[in-house]
Chain A
């Protein structure tokens, strides 16, 4: 089965309300999957002979806090990019969660590649993947506080290793603040 509209209609018939909106105007068309139905939809996408998306390319965490003119403003998003190897077909779907409750069920046992991608999304955006076997930071140091790709992230004044071996002032001017004094120095 090819084309995002065909796949969307097929899934909509199968899961009904579990599948959200479809955005086919975007350069990479995508559709929304509700958080509650993610695991069954994911298993279906992988195992159904019509679909057979056996390869997970990436999971990307996005913060839509400062996004305007869309109904998912203020939400966090996990973008799943799937790939079908037999005819090089790509499929993208997104899962939206509220910022106050950033929990998405893990799909690490459906696509094993998800294990590290979910750790990255947790590290940088702070989405908690429920059922992940080892959800800890993958890129940043383990003692890091906060999730830096969130729009409201505030950088601390200094970076310090837990044993005090290294203490560095971060000296980073805030690029969004106007009349930045440290920027002009």
Chain B
């Protein structure tokens, strides 16, 4: 064994290396453990109202592959942790956005995807388009672009993961966790 290490470097017994790599006991807090589990299963609600929805599909497809970071799509708000609002929201649609957000279970997060959802985008002067979904529901992350690339959306979900990992989930009040 000794011959495999360079001179001057302290030789470490193989048992010690194995213990370091494959510990039998992991010390952590319950918060960190729960957050670790939550952050790798950010399931998102399919909410595509315009061309951003095409990029949202690509985000779930094999190239960007949201599944590798544990994000899969849900067709119902009851099972979703994250709402990705992808597309133009009209006033007629805005009450549905609010209803769907309220149907999601706590803790919940919102990504506003693309120029339309951020601020109305090219429809700023329209009589019927809501100028930003943050007038209706709280938003965690905004993604710029018209539409944004799937990689940008992936970065947004990674930011949601980072936010989840920082949270004191057990001690948080209802209003503080998510949203």
Contacts and interface: CB of A to CB of B under 8 A. Distances in A.
A177 interface: no
B85 interface: no
A169 interface: yes
A171 B130 CA distance: 9
Contacts of B135: 168-169
Nearest to A158: B91
Interface in B123-159: 125, 127-128, 130-131, 135-136
A166 interface: yes
Contact of B94 (A139, A155, A166, A175): A166
Contacts, number: 31
A14 interface: no
Interface of A: 139-141, 148, 153, 155, 159, 161, 165-166, 168-172, 175
A128 B161 CA distance: 54
B95 A166 contact: yes
19 contacts: A140-B92, A140-B128, A141-B92, A148-B128, A153-B127, A155-B127, A159-B91, A159-B94, A165-B98, A166-B95, A166-B136, A168-B94, A168-B130, A168-B135, A168-B136, A170-B131, A172-B127, A172-B131, A175-B125
A141 B92 CA distance: 6
Given A166-B136, A168-B136, A172-B125, A161 B131 contact: no
Chain B contact-residue range equals 10 to 19
A175 B127 CA distance: 11
A143 to B, nearest CB: 10
Nearest to A154: B127
Interface string B71-103: 000000000000000000001101100110000
Nearest to B125: A175
Nearest to B93: A141
A182 B92 CA distance: 24
